[in-house]
Structure 1
Amino acid sequence: MKKYFNDQEKMVLDVIDLAYPEVEQKTELMKEQLSGRIDMLLDLQSNSEEVMKCVSSEQEVYAGSDIGVNEFSLAIQKFSRIIFAVEEFKRQLEKAVLGNYPAQLPEEPTPGTSNGIQMEMTEDVITSSSNSSLCQGPLQATNSSSSAISSPRGSPLWALSSPFSQWASDVTLDPERVSRRLELSEDRKTVMVPDFLPEYEPSRWRFRNCQVTGSQSFSEGHHYWEVSTQNSTGWAIGVARREIGHSERLGRTDLSWCIEWSSNQLSAWHRDQQTPLTEQKPLLVGVFLDIPNNSLSFYCLPNKETCLHQFQINVTHPVYPAFWIYGMRVGDYLTVNSITKH
């Protein structure tokens, strides 16, 4: 009898040993999915705060009258219900016509920026210049051109002539780092906000917010890439160290540098410090990483190459192209252009 119980116990333990890895993997997957949903709720909260900021000044007008406050509160509630109904109708309408008219998506305001966790890194000493006229580098007048490509939604990109194309780098997006709330195209050149959450293999490097980095890292030389932003209502483009945290937004720590379009404002971000820029939303952004001269520059394309901002960056560790996209607009996407190197 004792042998029988021992055999039964061994059999149960064997079954547990076999099932444990699968259970552990599914548990980790569920944790990442829940984290993604939490971040989505935080984005919704941020968006709501932006709306309340817009109406707060109006609310102060009624502060001296109880009747006025009550009327204002009722008006706000009614307005909120109308907004919700309109947004729901718009979402259903977009979903219905997306197959026939995919590129005609209306723009809407993006949420405000949020602070991230700061990390103390003394190895990278950074100073930034907010004046675009200070952007300098080995800009040489050449007539190099890159072929136009088509975005996954059928919206054409421009054919470009860039003096930086001689340093063009083939940047593709990393499936091990992309957020579960985003989807990559087959050629890994486009990151988009999908209708449904895609399935990815578990990865210790995966972002929990709506970000992705390139698969390529740079630690020496000159590198240039271009990003089409015309189909995204909110985005950030820059570079980041691999050690950037899963939930850390670009530009909010010592480990990343970027320019960002959010809440109808173009800004440069590093160490959680915002530098407002005067340019309007660029539809195409060129990024030039000049490691020998400790420079990271951003350019507005394609009509003329206007320097938007330049960081002084000392690359002591490899950095990766990095991207954030506003994740509440299904159908929005960023595309890394293919450039012919000359």
Structure 2
Amino acid sequence: MTTPVTELSDRARGIFRAVVEGYLETGQPVGSRTLAGLGAVQLSPASIRSVMAELETLGLLASPHISAGRLPTDLGLRLFVDGMMRVAEPSFEERATIEARIGSGGPVEDALAATTAALSGLSACAGLVLVPKAELVLRHISFVWLAPDRALAVIVGDDGQVENRVIELMPGTTPSALVEAGNYMSATLAGLSLAEARARLDRQLSADRVALDVAAADLVERGLVVWSEDGDRRPVLIVRGQGRLIDAAAAADLERVRDLLDDLDGKQEVAHLLDSARTGDSTRIFIGAENKLFALSGSSVIARPFRGLDGRVVGVVAVIGPTRLNYARVVPMVDFTAATLARLIG
């Protein structure tokens, strides 16, 4: 459990804040002599060391080496972010850059990619945007016999996109049932999205208005379920700026950076993490080992959902970087980007 800020003395809060801010600025442990020399804390180095030791006992600070200074733990960063951080609103230039990328015209996905790149450049992190995969609108559906227990379902979208899925057949399904199911779907469900097609099919099955035999009706329902579930599992995740994660400070910790880049390559896991930020209206901050996905790489994610005019969540915008990223600057930048994307999508 995180120690509440109010339980720290004024002296401990001041030293803790100075250590965290120094670490976030340099990426290096902060020593007592450094704090005393900067005048950030009006105490002797010995007194500062004593307070640092207390903060270390509370699990808020850690010392990477015996002779080194202290740096904040993930627990300490959580305390700082939730209770002590003073945010800095994006500058006029930063807001103008984000708005220019979002309003650059062209397909929405191009605007999202440009926005992600802009956010990456401004935050010195990798930028991410998660949006649902564009829903397929049905034009033509057919089933091709493969074996007594399997068939290939072929769907053609309004945009000409063709997708194939292998589906299992119920025992006794005949090739004629495949033809019947394909003809029914093409004639009845063309022009509908998958969600609309499933809703119409459910209504017609409930009203017993589907003029199909049992095997063909099962094929129709099974095909729609397979495509719908598959689409739900494949949101569009745009990632830009991975190279920015390899900076001078990261050069001394290349293994951590390698782990982080591996995490980003596993887009399904990253997408699942961002999808968890879709609920609620506020920004979510995942720090280091708080999320098992980034336990090895020691990374942080700042994510915020953005909504359309109807109030529904359209997607999630985020940045990912080392735990020492500038939270006070990046959090409001992500917030502004989400609000600007909401105006575009809406």
> TM-score with structure 2 length normalisation?
0.23
Name the one with the larger strand percent: 1
Higher helix share: 2
Structure with higher RCO (Cα < 8 A, 6+ apart): 1
Normalised TM-score (structure 1): 0.24
Larger Rg: 2
